[in-house]
Amino acid sequence: KLVLKSWESTIENLEHFLFILGLMQRDFPDIVTAVKTKQAIQTVLNTATETLKVLISSGIVDKNEGNKIQKMILLKKKQLGTLPSTIAPPTAEELLHNISWLENEKNQIEFIQKKARLLCYDYGDVICEEHEMPQGIHLIISGMTKLYGASPRYGVDKNVYEQRYPTRMPYTDYLVSGAIIGELNCLTKQEMEYTVTCETAVQTCFISMDDLFEAFDKFLECPSLEYKIWLKLALDIAIKIFKENLAYQDWSYMMCTKFPNIYVMDVPTHSKLDIYDGTMDDVILVHGSVQDCQQLHPYFAPCILPKTCHQVRRIVAITSLQCAERNAHATVKTLTQL
């Protein structure tokens, strides 16, 4: 009971902290943008330092060369103090360009810009409700929203999930400028699992379901637009699972080296999929359910599949696996079963 109360208190404090940060971004957008920019750069430099230490200790990078690189990193850290105390927040167009699945794709960005609508909401307005079908995706331009509902099911059948977790934990988050609402629900065409309300006046860039799927049909060249959204979502879920698993607590430097070699692949319905065939380090179930073809044991997203599982089949219509694949350069690839 004491542990449960402590956990509930921690969650409440975190939610309040996120709420205050959101209000600060509303009232002082220039200052908050500068602080977030500085923090993001600091995180990148810290990861670079951690990665460099591993590369030196493993003999991949010469110690003298490593010292030179470390001096460059330290110089960059010192230069953080020269960053301006205020930075103008990004415009709607800049935010659109910064979406990971639209980055550097001029034709796709222009198409979305033509189709998108700018929507304005007042305090207390509801952007979307739990259990309703998605209408499209919202990119938050300004303001703060509150997202609340039950913990996400990650594509697991509702009846199965309720049997496994009779009491679903409430889930609350606050979303601000740059956040996207409804990506996964639009891809899967499944009902919303949360309600989003406005904590302040909010402005969003809205892309309807029809326009989004028109874009999917238009931009099929590899990597397709739909492919890139699935990849982004799979990565988000996989990183969360890795961070929660004790065996991967110090994996951040490895993830940075593996991500450039990630890919997504469709697997037809009713087919079986071979995994852990000697080329894969890890297989992560990020959406839906699978069954071990040999042991007949079911697995539900999100989870890391055990290495004793060598062949799986899907249980639900939309199931996604992410495979960390081993090769001569110790890189990782991603496999998504849709």
DSSP 180-231: EESHHHHHHT---SEEEEESS-EEEEEEEHHHHHHHHHH--SSSPHHHHHHH
Best CA proximity match to 27, nearest among 263, 159, 199: 199
What pLDDT score does 266 carry? 61
Q: What is the pLDDT of residues 24-35, one digit of tens each?
A: 777 787 887 788
Q: What is the pLDDT of residues 173-210, one digit of tens each?
A: 889 889 999 999 999 999 999 999 998 889 999 999 99
- The phi, psi pair for 324, rounded to 5°, reads -85, 105
Q: Mean pLDDT over residues 122-147, rounded?
A: 94
Binned at pLDDT 50, 70 and 90, residue 253 comes out as: low
CATH number of 90-219: 2.60.120.10
CA-CA distance, 325 to 313, in Å (whole number)?
19
Q: What is the CB-side half-sphere exposure of residue 153 using CA atoms within 13 A?
A: 28
CB 120 within 8 A of CB 205: no
**Which residues are within 8 A (CB) of 298 and not within 5 positions of it... i.e. 6 or more apart?**
289, 290, 291, 292, 315
Does 325 score more than 80 pLDDT? no
Strands of the sheet with 180-181, listed across from one edge: 117-121, 202-208, 136-142, 180-181
Place of tokens 């988050």: 173
How many residues are listed for the chain in this entry?
338
Beta bridge partners of 203: 120, 142
Q: Mean pLDDT over residues 229-233, rounded?
A: 91
CA-CA distance, 26 to 28, in Å (whole number)?
6
Binned at pLDDT 50, 70 and 90, residue 10 comes out as: low
CB 36 within 8 A of CB 80: no
CB 216 within 8 A of CB 141: no
* Residue 264 parent element (H or E): none
Best CA proximity match to 212, nearest among 113, 285, 112: 112
* Helices 209-218 and 106-115: angle between axes, nearest 10 degrees: 150
Residue with the larger pLDDT of the pair 228 and 90: 228
Place of tokens 């379901």: 209
Cα–Cα distances in angstroms (integers) from residue 79 to residues 75, 179, 273, in the given order: 6, 29, 50
Supply 22's token pair. 């959101």
Domain borders along the chain are: 1-88, 90-219, 229-325
What pLDDT score does 128 carry? 96
Does 337 score more than 60 pLDDT? no
Between 59-73, 114-128, 256-270, 294-308, the lowest mean confidence (pLDDT) is in: 256-270
CB 286 within 8 A of CB 238: yes
Q: CA-CA-CA-CA torsion for 240, 127, 121, 88, nearest 10 degrees?
A: 20
Share of the chain above pLDDT 90, in %: 31
